[in-house]
Amino acid sequence: MKIRFLAIAQREVDDAVRWYDDQIAGLGQEFLDELDRAVRRAAAWPTSCPRSNMECVAACWHVFRMD
């Protein structure tokens, strides 16, 4: 399965990384790591995630939270 991020989604990821890093140094990287795992799972098992249309698969991922 080919994975691509729309430009708006990439901007949201970048904003989220900055926000998490502002909260706790290094948390942005943890967020990216969790996002990477979710994307890899969606690529490996695309039918396990909901589809909003023929081109968009919503990745199922663990809740990212600040501990």
Q: What is the mean pLDDT of residues 55-62?
A: 57
pLDDT of residue 32: 92
Q: What is the mean pLDDT of residues 38-52?
A: 74
Both tokens of 63, joined, read 């809740």
13: exposed, middle or buried (C-beta count within 10 Å: 0-12, 13-18, 19+)? middle
Q: What is the mean pLDDT of residues 21-25?
A: 95
Residues 6+ apart with CB under 8 A from 1: 42, 43, 46, 57
Mean pLDDT is highest, among 1-10, 14-23, 33-42, 45-54, for 14-23
The residue that leads in pLDDT, 26 or 1, is 26
